[in-house]
Structure 1
Amino acid sequence: MGHLLDGLNHVAIRVRDIEACARFYRDVLHLYLRSFDGQMAFFECGGTEFVLIGDPGQRDSSGQLAHIGFRVENPEKLDYFAHRVAEAGCPNIDGPKSTPGGRTLYFTDPEGIVVEIYC
């Protein structure tokens, strides 16, 4: 029957501080912010939509999401983002390091969500 799904359309994440998270993904990771109404932020990233949903009453998010993975073309771009996230004070930076699948960088966003950038 083949593939019935054509691709991933979007990823949506609930966050407590929508302002801080929207700034982080726009300013540090340079995602294109398509729209923001104070409650939801819609970003475009390589044909997939990335959505932040403001939910100030959200409980601890551990266990709800393993990580978000973003792909870059080459090690130079990965190193650029390693520098950007270090400048932004992102905790738990692991890498950049070589793995059997390529090079990876792991860090956490302002809500503690693990983000991976790989090439």
Structure 2
Amino acid sequence: MNVSVQTIAERLCAGGVIPYLGPALLALCPDTAVPATPLALAEIITAKVSVLHKIRTRLTQAAQFIENFKHRKSLVSVMNEAFAMTPTPSALRNPHWPREAWPLFIVLYP
């Protein structure tokens, strides 16, 4: 695939693409209200619902255990609770930046 930076910038400005900035983006948010890592989410769900000790820090295994041996409603409830708060926007969501600066910012800091 051979796409120019100009094409990417045009698509960003038009809202045609959404940049993926990486899993550590929530670390830029002050007072993160939602779990920012799989381990943090695993700790939240296993604090609310008991699971086997050996899978306590493994998100996918813990979630599957809860869904299979407790009830899907239990897992959905805990997940809804974990993500109920809206995180404080990071500096990347500065409302004073002009929209034209976004493509340049994304290109400079991939």
Q: Same fold (TM over 0.5)?
A: no
Structure (1 or 2) with the greater helix fraction: 2
Q: TM-score, normalised by structure 2?
A: 0.25
Larger-gyration structure (1/2): 2
Structure (1 or 2) with the greater strand fraction: 1
Q: TM-score, normalised by structure 1?
A: 0.24
Greater relative contact order, per chain length (Cα 8 Å cut-off, separation 6+): 2
